[in-house]
Structure formats: structure tokens, C-alpha cells
Chains A and B, each alone.
Chain A
Amino acid sequence: MVRVVSRRLIQLFVTLIALMTLVFFWLRSLPGGPVDALLGERATPQTRELLTRALGYDQPIWVQYGRFLKNVVTGDFGNSIRTGEPVTDVISRSFPATIELAVAAIIIAVGLGIPLGYLAARYRGRLLDNATIIVTLIGISIPIFFLGYLLKDWLTQGIHFFPPSGRISTGMDNTDVTGFFVLDGLLTREFDASADALWHLVLPAVTLATIPLAIIVRITRASVLDVLDEDYIRTADAKGLRNATIRKRHVLRNALLPVVTTIGLQTGALLAGAVLTEKVYNWGGLGTLITDSISGGRDYPVLQALILLAAVVFIVVNLLVDLSYAIIDPRVRVQ
């Protein structure tokens, strides 16, 4: 186990170096840049040159790249061009918001998706199954921003059931400990803040969860149906085991393998979906930060750090997926 993890960590390191290089050059090959964005079209050549030099962009690109690498290794991602704050501060302010949203979405998608997919398979060909197939098809096809605005319109405008935007009500006097508002409320025993944050979380999380949910339902259903056809299920039947035992012990565990893989892959999609969801619900997270950093000034340092962060999250999640695979299936366990 230790060997597997350490090998994966080395892989992670190599991947990150490659990704950093790619992102560094890719960002700089885009037309425009921080100087244009900050000064606008009517700036004099003198000011442009001054700013270019101040930001260090006058040096040869490989010198910039070397400095960037050196700084990253020491944990210094530089300062945001837009606000001048250290990038790490900027990101750590937005990070908890997105994680809170993503975790809530994953909980909904997995917690609802696996049981639903399982039930659809169990009642194959009946009403529940057919309804599930149709609804999940809609769930997969509907664009996030469209669904987001639709839900917002229905449930916050007319009947004011849910708050339309933000992470917490203005005027809520909550103490910030970790940045995860729901968790903070529990930690500081400000339960009203927790409940309020949770209430704000519902619509964005549901919006973000729809696509992964639909996919997990379908994968679970297909996987359970596959397993039900396996010879060892027939053996279990021949043993006279109770249906409940067969389902719990023999079907579910085998059926979970493809589902776990899917969950890992969907995490990547979740990060992308978060950008749109956060926009719709004015959720101050990484998604908002990334759009602001691109459109409002080509904030190279922030963008570089964000992309790296996304990669780290994705790789770590997939490492966890591989580890849980080993727990579920003895055949992939390393001796």
C-alpha cells in the first residue's frame, strides 16, 4: 500500500511539473496580457514599458519560467496582478466555498445516485426503471447554467423558498474559522449560521449535482444488471441464500467497482461545473475567481495557481478512487 501511494505521489509530482510548464507557456501565448488589461487601449508606450518592466515581463521567457518554477517549489505563487495580494491568500479565501459546494454536490449525487440506480436495476423494465431512464437522460442533457437559472426562477423568485444567491444571509453574524460556513457554524455552536449556510447551499448543490447524479444512476443500474447475470450470483441462489443477503453481500460490492471509477472521473467535471454554478448563484468560490482572473486582467499568477490546484484535486481524488478500488476488489490489491 505504501509503495503504491508513494509511486502515485511521484507520478503526481511529474504530472504537476508538466502541467505547470504547459500552463505557463499556454497563458503567455494568448493574445493580450496583464499589461493591456490593466492599462487599456489608450495607454502611452512609456507607461506600458514601465509596467511591463515592473511585472518582469520584459525578461526572456525562459528566465521568467525559471523564476516561476523556483518560486512555485518554495510555495510562492507570487502576487495577484489585479489586487496585489499574495495568490495563496486570494485562493484560500475562495477555496472553502467551492469545496463546500462540491462536497455537497458529491453527497447528493452519490447518496441518491447509487440507491436509485440500484432500484432501477432491481425493478428493471417497470415504471420506476423507465422513469429513471428518462429523468436521467434529461439530467445528463440539461446545461448547468440553464437548470441553474430555471431553479432560481422557480424557487427563489415567485415563492421565495430558497435564497437566490450568496453563501449566507447578509447580516448573519457568523464567525469565520475554516471558511466552510456550515462547518464553522457547528464548530462555534452558531447553529443558526450553519442552517442558514446550508439553506443557501441547497440550490447550487442540486444544480451542480444533476449531471454526476444522472451518470452515477445510469452506471449503477448497468453495473448491477451486469452483476446479476454473473455465474456467482447463480451460485449464491443455488445456496438458497436470502435475497437480502445476495443483494448486500454478492451484488452491491461487485457492482460498485465501475461506480467508484465514475465518481472519480466526475470530480473533474464537477470542478468545471462549479464555474457555471457559482456564476448563476453568485457563489464566491474558485469558479468566480477563475472567470474574474481571465476576463478582468489576465491574472497570470492566480490562473497558474488555480489550474495547478484543480489538477492536484483531480489527481488526489483519483488516487483515493484507486485506493478504494483495492479495498473493494482483492484482485487489484498489491501484495
Chain B
Amino acid sequence: MPLLDVRELSVVFQRKGTKPFTAVDRVSFAVEPGETVGLVGESGCGKSVTSLAIMGLLPRRGNKVTGEVRFEDTDLLKLRPQDLRDRRGRDIGMIFQDPLSSLNPVIPLGLQVAEVLERHQGKTRQAALREARGLLDAVGIPDPARRLKEFPHQLSGGMRQRALIAIALACKPRLLIADEPTTALDVTVQAQILALLKELVDQSGTALVMITHDLGVVAGLCDTVNVLYAGRVVERAGRHALFGDPRHPYTHGLLQSVPRLDADRGGRLHQIRGSVNDNIPWSEGCAFAPRCDRVVDDCIGETVPLEPTSRGGALRCTNPVPQEVPA
């Protein structure tokens, strides 16, 4: 049984006087215990909204969330807000994109770590702070005893992200959701943070949902990858299958867009033409069709279904990139 089973999750933003906007459109995916699953896509494809919907962190007004988010036996979407509060931070931890703005500037780091332990494990302030010191040490923050008393602005970007990881993992959650955890960091620091995440996840057997637009992150970390486009999953595959043999033209395009060292220096970099905004509603065909190189007449007209593939993944495409014949 999967640890997290997201079924037909939809998020519709509704504001008075504007057309409802479907940010996440019947997205389904599952995460097995200890597995690392990637949600990949361009800005605006709905990956962050998906994670916020799973955590119940979307603003209470102006949106409608439907579908199911089964965590073990419970549908998180059906929980009362206070019951969900009991689970957030304890069963599911979350790491955010910008480590500076995600930490409270006026509260010492120690308390920001310790308060999770106080809340979910009923520890006293003193005991929680003692454990917080160990946690900071475990995520590789040097001199943790001193850092406990410091404030976020006194830490470097990498330190802050380490602290956020310590907070998210404090209660040993079974699931960790990381929403672009390395986007705001230097490349060298990115690598360190990813290595740390991988190590911690492997050690503790925590399942990880990795949300990113960075294919390098996916290649290094994820077991299974879901590629999202305009709010829907367009391709799902194992890491090797996806990188070695992408079937959806969008996935293919994304991989092609990564600049290569062995390419001609004078050659043009590959890009997917158009932007995310050039799409058609899923109900009228494939949303990617206007930007697709392989578009055929059948792409437009009716919804393209997400169909299981022979290699255990899924694909939503009428005219997929042909499978490479093993030589």
C-alpha cells in the first residue's frame, strides 16, 4: 500500500469577477514508503500548488480543492483543520523554496526548531532545545549550541536551508515534501543540500516528494518522476526510463533544453517554443499542442487520456516520441 496516494486532485482558484482557473487538474500519483518521487515542470504548471494542497496550506478562501489525498488510511482533505494540524510537522514535513523568508526573522533559530518538538512530542522547552541542538548538528550546522541562540539573518543561505530541513525532519515524519529546496541557493551549496537530503532520506527511510524544475535534481534523487504540464500529469516513468527514453514531446523538449558540454560551441541552444501561456484547455485536446513539434490533427478535439505504459509508467500523448530500439 502506498504511503501517500493522491487521486484526482484538483485545485480551482476562484476570485469574484474572474474566470475560475484550474491550477491542478485531476492529478494522481502515489508515493511508496521510503520512495523519492519527483514532480517536475515549468513555473506555473501546478507543482507547488499540488504540494500546498496536500499539506492543506492553501489559503482558506478563493480556491476549491477536490479529489483525495490518502495518507496511509486517512484522506487528508477530509480531516478537520485541527486534526490536520496534528499531522503536519509530525507525519509530513515540508521544506520551502526561500530559506530566508521561510524562517521567522525575530525568533531565535533554536526555538524555531524546538517548537515543533514541543508541539508534537510534548517536550519541555529545555528538552526540545537540547534535541534541537542534535538536529542542527545532524544537518551539518557547525557549532550548533551557538547557532541555537542566533537569528536567521546571522546564517548563510545554505545554513538556513539546513535549518529548515532540521525543522521538517525534527519529528521523524514518514513523508517529506520539498518544494524547490535548492532554487534560492548557490550551485555548490545546492549540491551539498541535495546530498544531505539524500543521505537523511536514505538513513531514516522517509519518503520524499521532490518538487523541482531542475532536471539535474531529479536525475540525482528521484526514483519515479511525474512530469506536469498545465496542471496535469503528462508523463510518469522511472528515473532511468525518463532520462534515457522520454516519450512525451514535452519531456523530450525539457531534456533537450539542458545545455550540453559536448554540443557545438556555435550551435543554438535548444528551446521549447512559446510559453506556458500558449495552451488550449485540456477539454479541447492536448494543452501542449500549440508548442509541440510532433503535433498531429488528433491532438486537438478531445481530451487526451493518461494511459499506462508497458514500462510501468503512464503517458498522455497521441503521437509520442518513438521508443528507442535497443541497439
B107 at the interface (CB under 8 A from A): yes
Q: At the interface with chain A, which of B70-78, B88-96, B233-241, B301-309? A: B88-96
- A75 to B: closest C-beta gap in Å: 42
Q: Specify which chain A residues have a CB less than 8 angstroms from the CB of B93 in the assembled complex.
A: 238
Closest chain B residue to A228 by CB distance? B59
Q: Kindly state the separation between the CA atoms of A243 and B60 in the bound complex, as whole angstroms.
A: 14
Q: Are A240 and B116 in touch, CB under 8 angstroms?
A: yes
Q: Kindly state the separation between the CA atoms of A8 and B101 in the bound complex, as whole angstroms.
A: 32
- B26 to A: closest C-beta gap in Å: 25
Q: Are A240 and B119 in touch, CB under 8 angstroms?
A: yes
Closest chain A residue to B150 by CB distance? A330
Q: Are B106 and A328 in touch, CB under 8 angstroms?
A: yes
Q: Are B94 and A238 in touch, CB under 8 angstroms?
A: yes
- B169 to A: closest C-beta gap in Å: 12
Q: Kindly state the separation between the CA atoms of A242 and B89 in the bound complex, as whole angstroms.
A: 11
Q: Mark B159-186, 1 if CB is under 8 A from A, else 0.
A: 0000010011000000000000000000
Q: Kindly state the separation between the CA atoms of A179 and B86 in the bound complex, as whole angstroms.
A: 56
Chain A, 166-212, CB within 8 A of any chain B CB = none
Q: Specify which chain B residues have a CB less than 8 angstroms from the CB of A234 in the assembled complex.
A: 57, 96, 102
Q: Are B116 and A250 in touch, CB under 8 angstroms?
A: no
B64 at the interface (CB under 8 A from A): no
Q: Are A240 and B85 in touch, CB under 8 angstroms?
A: yes
- A127 to B: closest C-beta gap in Å: 16
Q: Are A238 and B119 in touch, CB under 8 angstroms?
A: no
Q: Kindly state the separation between the CA atoms of A231 and B94 in the bound complex, as whole angstroms.
A: 12
Q: Are A235 and B96 in touch, CB under 8 angstroms?
A: yes
Q: Kindly state the separation between the CA atoms of A250 and B108 in the bound complex, as whole angstroms.
A: 11
- A221 to B: closest C-beta gap in Å: 17
Q: Mark B93-124, 1 if CB is under 8 A from A, else 0.
A: 11010100111111110010001100110000
Dominant secondary structure of chain A at its interface with chain B? helix
- B53 to A: closest C-beta gap in Å: 13
Q: Kindly state the separation between the CA atoms of A234 and B94 in the bound complex, as whole angstroms.
A: 10
Q: Are A254 and B153 in touch, CB under 8 angstroms?
A: no
Q: Specify which chain B residues have a CB less than 8 angstroms from the CB of A6 in the assembled complex.
A: none
Partner of B105, one of A243, A245, A331: A331
Q: Are A240 and B88 in touch, CB under 8 angstroms?
A: yes
Chain A, 316-335, CB within 8 A of any chain B CB = 328-331
Q: Are B96 and A241 in touch, CB under 8 angstroms?
A: no
Given the known interface contacts A240-B88, A245-B119, the answer about A235 and B167 at a Cβ–Cβ threshold of 8 Å is yes
Q: Are B105 and A254 in touch, CB under 8 angstroms?
A: yes
Given the known interface contacts A235-B164, A331-B153, the answer about A241 and B101 at a Cβ–Cβ threshold of 8 Å is no
Closest chain A residue to B94 by CB distance? A238
Given the known interface contacts A240-B89, A242-B119, the answer about A331 and B104 at a Cβ–Cβ threshold of 8 Å is no
Given the known interface contacts A238-B94, A241-B115, the answer about A254 and B89 at a Cβ–Cβ threshold of 8 Å is no
Partner of A254, one of B87, B102, B104: B104
Q: Specify which chain B residues have a CB less than 8 angstroms from the CB of A254 in the assembled complex.
A: 104-106
A41 at the interface (CB under 8 A from B): no
Chain A, 224-275, CB within 8 A of any chain B CB = 230-232, 234-243, 245, 249-250, 253-254
- A320 to B: closest C-beta gap in Å: 19
Closest chain B residue to A329 by CB distance? B106
Q: Are B104 and A238 in touch, CB under 8 angstroms?
A: no
Given the known interface contacts A238-B55, A238-B57, A250-B104, the answer about A231 and B96 at a Cβ–Cβ threshold of 8 Å is yes
Partner of B119, one of A232, A235, A241, A330: A241
Q: Are A240 and B57 in touch, CB under 8 angstroms?
A: no
Closest chain A residue to B104 by CB distance? A232
- B276 to A: closest C-beta gap in Å: 23
Interface-centre pick from B55, B89, B90, B167 (highest chain A CB count, 10 A) = B89
Partner of A237, one of B57, B86, B87, B108: B57
Q: Kindly state the separation between the CA atoms of A243 and B101 in the bound complex, as whole angstroms.
A: 20
Q: Kindly state the separation between the CA atoms of A220 and B57 in the bound complex, as whole angstroms.
A: 24
Given the known interface contacts A239-B89, A245-B115, A249-B115, the answer about A231 and B105 at a Cβ–Cβ threshold of 8 Å is no
Q: Are A239 and B167 in touch, CB under 8 angstroms?
A: yes
Q: Specify which chain B residues have a CB less than 8 angstroms from the CB of A230 in the assembled complex.
A: 101
B29 at the interface (CB under 8 A from A): no
B151 at the interface (CB under 8 A from A): yes
Closest chain A residue to B119 by CB distance? A241
Closest chain A residue to B151 by CB distance? A330
Q: Are A240 and B98 in touch, CB under 8 angstroms?
A: no
Partner of A231, one of B85, B101, B153, B167: B101
- B118 to A: closest C-beta gap in Å: 9
Chain B, 18-67, CB within 8 A of any chain A CB = 55, 57
Chain A, 51-98, CB within 8 A of any chain B CB = none
- B107 to A: closest C-beta gap in Å: 7
Partner of A238, one of B89, B105, B120: B89
Q: Kindly state the separation between the CA atoms of A313 and B111 in the bound complex, as whole angstroms.
A: 38
Partner of B103, one of A235, A240, A329, A331: A235
Q: Specify which chain B residues have a CB less than 8 angstroms from the CB of A329 in the assembled complex.
A: 105-106
Given the known interface contacts A231-B98, A238-B55, the answer about A249 and B107 at a Cβ–Cβ threshold of 8 Å is yes
Interface-centre pick from A241, A250, A253, A254 (highest chain B CB count, 10 A) = A241
Closest chain B residue to A229 by CB distance? B59
Q: What is the interface of chain A, defined by CB distance below 8 A to chain B?
A: 230-232, 234-243, 245, 249-250, 253-254, 328-331
Q: Which 8 A-B pairs have the closest CB atoms?
A: A240-B89, A240-B88, A231-B101, A239-B89, A232-B104, A330-B151, A238-B94, A231-B102
Q: What is the interface of chain B, defined by CB distance below 8 A to chain A?
A: 55, 57, 85-90, 93-94, 96, 98, 101-108, 111, 115-116, 119-120, 151, 153, 164, 167-168
> Would you mind naming 6 contact pairs between A and B with Cβ atoms under 8 Å apart?
A235-B96, A237-B88, A238-B57, A238-B94, A239-B89, A330-B106
